[in-house]
Amino acid sequence: MAAEPIQTGDTRFGICKVCWAGCPVEVTVENGRATKVVGDRQSPIYGGYTCPKGRAMPDAHYSPTRVLHPRKRMPDGSYTEIPMAQAVEEIAQRIEAIVAEHGPEAVAVYPGNGNLTNPINPVIGAMFIMAMGTFPDRFFSVQTIDQAGKVIAQALHGRWIPGPQPFSTAKTWIMVGTNPVISKQGVMVNPGQTVKQAVKDGMKLIVIDPRATESATHAFLHIAPQPGQDASILAGILRVILSERLYDANFVAANAIGIAALKAAVEPFTPEHVASVAGISADDVVLAARTFAAAESGCVVTATGAHFPLHGTLCEYLALCLNTVCARWVREGEVHAQPHVLLPEVAIRAQPHAPYQPWDYTKPSRINALPQTVVGAPTGTLPDEILTPGPGQVRALICSGSNPAVSLPDQNRAGRALGSLDLLVSIDVEMSNTARMADYVIPDRMALETPACSQFSESMKYYGIWTGGYEVPYAQYAAAVVEPPAGSETIESWEFFYELAKRLGKQITYFGNAAGTGQHWDKPPVPFVLPLDRRPTTEEMFDAMCAGSRVPLAEVKDHVHGKVFSELDLTVLPRAEDCSAMLQLGDPTMMAELAEVFARRGDTTAPSAEFPLLLIPRRANDMMNSIGRNNPKLTARRTHNPAYISPADLERMGIATGDVISIRSAHGQITGVAEPDPRLRSGTVSMSHCFGTNPDEADDPLGQGGCTSRLIDANAAFDPVFGQPRMGAIPVCVKPVPVLAI
């Protein structure tokens, strides 16, 4: 089959892997180099869509600052290039010495978004740590500083096997703290157009966001609350629906328990209470609830905006409850709207996977005594796991496609921690903030230099709702489009872990075709023990990943532009007679947290005289977190992350567009560059993350931007289960900085 790069003249077809939307691309190749990337207009579902990040892939691949050989840090802090074999050998020797002295718990991994280039990469770090015998405690990933509450809430609520009703045909949708038009979260395929079309087709879109986002442009109702009050708002919407009996009592009776507990818990959240804590109109709460309940289909979804203040799991749980009481799940006799193609064939029945308890306190974490969970170790505690002496202290960290020097909460603490390690390895393509601190930098292959397939996008639906997956039976495979630059020595992340494990005498078992998460499995994964006598090829890994897929990978390869396998549409079967699983609407932990939210009037962050503004996150269209910051094309206009503030607030503070400002929280201070955003609620500062210099480098607001993580306290307030510190709705004060003082 077509394992070789597919060539049509000098035009080849690939998949962009800069973010997980996986857009098919048409690449012009000249003299072995990719010179131009546009969307593949022959794609049956993407219709030629790409974003600026995808189109700038050639500039990233041939960036003059790209790391093309392994680098080793010398005693004077400079880097020297060394052969790959030497890098693997030296790293292995140092790990052996660390393990001999401190035990295997001293070695941790932290994979991030840069390793999406090959769908094997994001999971292989976990499998390396399994081989080390320290899983899950030493597997730190971005999951637990992102939306781990999705997995936890789904565990507590239960997972409806056929999944939620599809977005494209829904009659209403409530987006809470998510902006898919920019982030592509939830809607992977041409989200701007998809959202617009859905609204045109009759969707009443409701957006809850302190900013009138690109997605809110199409909204029937935009509610702009004070940040950090989403749990109260969702409870308020539930209260209207339950008290006015607008819910689907038959579906609830047949499929869910706990409605009495839920009713009691949301009772105090009257529209007036919600209006007063969230700074919105009570009528809008009622309108949102009635609109949602009256429509024949649709969903409530949450993402980072709702998850980064303290009650992300609760917000997601309440969203799941809203979807359940209004029966917003695909039902018996309907077409399965999350069809498998490169995932295995499974029976899709109109029934839930039962709730389970996703935590285990028998071996609490060294820092903050957090439980072991299904989402890996709590990454918010990683700096203190490194800094705190004693048995189990982390001494070696391998980062693959991650940039913890700017992405970990509490940047100063993270910087101290990373700087104190005995060994820091960064698998990256640039001298990122983290690579600049690393003992070894290992150059990965980039997106166009590895094969790709849509299986990973398909499987993302298991993470929770609004996390990905296709609504039609679509699949695509694309071979590597180009070779890495001539004369370079690169290695894929997964290959590096394989080589390192092998050198350490460990054998990695890869788990392919994972149709599930936590304890909710439609089909168990297929183990593939990586042979030690030879390194498997990437193609073999892809075969393992797609083992038992509904359509063989070989057949998917025949369709260069991807294909909708319409013949695979399947109808959801009735509930099995022996199925006793019920969704849980009244989980006691969640109900107790909701009572606390009521008592504290929300997220407990209220603007004060000292810190009158609330800092919130946002995604930039031309960056993927820090990916793109070194790309000459993407940074031609601007290299920093503006601090967006409403024009009225700027005027009141005497700050003009482009002024350098100081942004201070109770924990830290950064400099930023003011930019008016008339679409932003007054009293908020909206800023992208993963920018800025390292703590030991000079501030550079107009160049590198400001690192919002420096404003976050890792230990003041955090999620009790997976330890995520408060990363949204952070009280700050903003002041102009006299130019001479910078």
Ligand X SMILES: Nc1nc2c(c(=O)[nH]1)N[C@H]1C(S)=C(S)[C@@H](COP(=O)(O)OP(=O)(O)OC[C@H]3O[C@@H](n4cnc5c(=O)[nH]c(N)nc54)[C@H](O)[C@@H]3O)O[C@H]1N2
Beta pairing, strands 730-736 & 256-257: unpaired
Amino acid code (one letter) for 95: I
Which phi and psi angles does 62 have, rounded to 5°?
Answer: -110, 25
CB 574 within 8 A of CB 334: no
Q: Which does 403 bind (CB under 5 to 8 A by kind): ligand SF4, ligand X, Mo ion, none?
A: ligand X
Q: Which does 23 bind (CB under 5 to 8 A by kind): ligand X, ligand SF4, Mo ion, none?
A: ligand SF4
Instruction: Output 394 or 429, the one with its CB closest to ligand X.
Output: 429
DSSP per-residue string spanning 52-72:
HHHHTHHHHHT-TT---S-EE
Q: Counting contacts by CB under 6 A, is residue 493 touching ligand X?
A: yes
CB of 48 to ligand SF4, least distance (A): 11
Instruction: Output 227 or 676, the one with its CB closest to ligand X.
Output: 227
Instruction: Output 379 or 454, the one with its CB closest to Mo ion.
Output: 379
What CA–CA distance (Å, rounded) separates 503 from 493?
A: 15
CB of 16 to ligand SF4, least distance (A): 3
Q: Which does 54 bind (CB under 5 to 8 A by kind): Mo ion, ligand SF4, ligand X, none?
A: ligand SF4
User: Using CB under 5 A as the criterion, which residues of the chain lie in contact with Mo ion when the complex forms?
Assistant: 146
Q: Which uninterrupted H or E stretch holds 289?
A: helix 282-294
Site residues for ligand X, window 143-162 (CB under 6 A)?
145-146
- Tokens found for residue 277: 């804590």
CA angle (131 as vertex; 129, 134 as ends), nearest 5? 50
CB of 23 to ligand SF4, least distance (A): 3
What CA–CA distance (Å, rounded) separates 203 from 291?
A: 11
Instruction: Output 184 or 640, the one with its CB closest to ligand SF4.
Output: 184
Query: What mask, x for binding ligand SF4 by CB under 6 A, covers residues 182 to 211?
Result: --x---------------------------
Q: Which residue is nearest to ligand SF4 (CB)?
A: 54
Beta pairing, strands 684-687 & 643-645: antiparallel
Instruction: Output 114 or 358, the one with its CB closest to ligand X.
Output: 114
Site residues for ligand X, window 182-211 (CB under 6 A)?
182-185, 208-211
CB of 284 to ligand X, least distance (A): 13
Among 376, 404, 469, 676, binds ligand X (CB under 6 A): 404
Q: Which stretch binds ligand SF4 (CB under 6 A): 17-25, 102-110, 237-245, 528-536?
A: 17-25
Among 23, 431, 545, 660, binds ligand SF4 (CB under 6 A): 23
What CA–CA distance (Å, rounded) separates 272 from 259?
A: 23
What CA–CA distance (Å, rounded) separates 597 from 593?
A: 6
Q: Counting contacts by CB under 6 A, is residue 602 touching ligand X?
A: no
Residue reference for tokens 């239960």: 158
Instruction: Output 570 or 606, the one with its CB closest to ligand X.
Output: 606
- Tokens found for residue 709: 């993580």
Which phi and psi angles does 536 have, rounded to 5°?
Answer: -65, 155
Longest dimension (CA), the chain: 75
HSE-up of residue 486 (Cα within 13 Å, Cβ side): 3
- Tokens found for residue 618: 């946002």
Q: Counting contacts by CB under 6 A, is residue 628 touching ligand SF4?
A: no
Closest of 103, 107, 110, 90 to residue 396, by C-alpha: 107
CB of 439 to ligand X, least distance (A): 16
Q: Annotate 204-223 with b (16+ C-beta within 10 A) or e (fewer).
A: bbbbbbbbbbbbbbbbebbb
Q: Which does 240 bind (CB under 5 to 8 A by kind): ligand X, Mo ion, ligand SF4, none?
A: none
Instruction: Output 22 or 525, the one with its CB closest to ligand SF4.
Output: 22
C-alpha torsion angle, residues 182, 184, 188, 192 (rounded to 10): -20
218: Cβ–Cβ under 8 A, 6 or more apart, which residues? 195, 196, 199, 205
| Partners of 517 in beta bridges | 520
Query: What mask, x for binding ligand X by CB under 6 A, covers residues 717 to 736?
Result: ----------xxx-------
Instruction: Output 258 or 728, the one with its CB closest to ligand X.
Output: 728
CB of 296 to ligand SF4, least distance (A): 31
Taken as a whole, the chain contains a residue count of 742
Site residues for ligand X, window 420-459 (CB under 6 A)?
427-430, 432, 444, 446-447
Among 25, 627, 634, 643, binds ligand X (CB under 6 A): 627
What CA–CA distance (Å, rounded) separates 671 from 705?
A: 8
Among 14, 18, 665, 681, binds ligand SF4 (CB under 6 A): 18
What CA–CA distance (Å, rounded) separates 658 from 645?
A: 12
Query: What mask, x for binding ligand SF4 by CB under 6 A, covers residues 36 to 65?
Result: --------------xx-xx-----------
Amino acid code (one letter) for 288: A
Q: Counting contacts by CB under 6 A, is residue 21 touching ligand SF4?
A: yes
CB 528 within 8 A of CB 510: yes
Beta pairing, strands 643-645 & 452-453: unpaired
What CA–CA distance (Å, rounded) separates 716 from 396?
A: 26
Kindly calculate the radius of gyration of the chain based on its CA atoms and give it in whole angstroms.
25
CB of 230 to ligand X, least distance (A): 5
Instruction: Output 331 or 535, the one with its CB closest to ligand X.
Output: 535
Amino acid code (one letter) for 387: L
What CA–CA distance (Å, rounded) separates 480 from 13?
A: 9
CB of 718 to Mo ion, least distance (A): 17
CB 81 within 8 A of CB 69: yes
Instruction: Output 287 or 627, the one with its CB closest to ligand X.
Output: 627
Among 5, 16, 417, 512, binds ligand SF4 (CB under 6 A): 16
Among 58, 227, 298, 371, binds ligand X (CB under 6 A): 227
Q: Counting contacts by CB under 6 A, is residue 88 touching ligand SF4?
A: no
Instruction: Output 452 or 714, the one with its CB closest to ligand SF4.
Output: 452
Instruction: Output 341 or 712, the one with its CB closest to ligand X.
Output: 712
Instruction: Output 185 or 351, the one with its CB closest to Mo ion.
Output: 185
Q: Which does 208 bind (CB under 5 to 8 A by kind): ligand SF4, ligand X, Mo ion, none?
A: ligand X
Question: What residues line the site for ligand X (CB under 6 A)?
Answer: 19, 112-115, 117, 142, 145-146, 176-180, 182-185, 208-211, 213, 227-228, 230, 303-306, 309, 400-404, 407, 427-430, 432, 444, 446-447, 493, 616-621, 623-627, 686, 689-690, 708-709, 712, 727-729
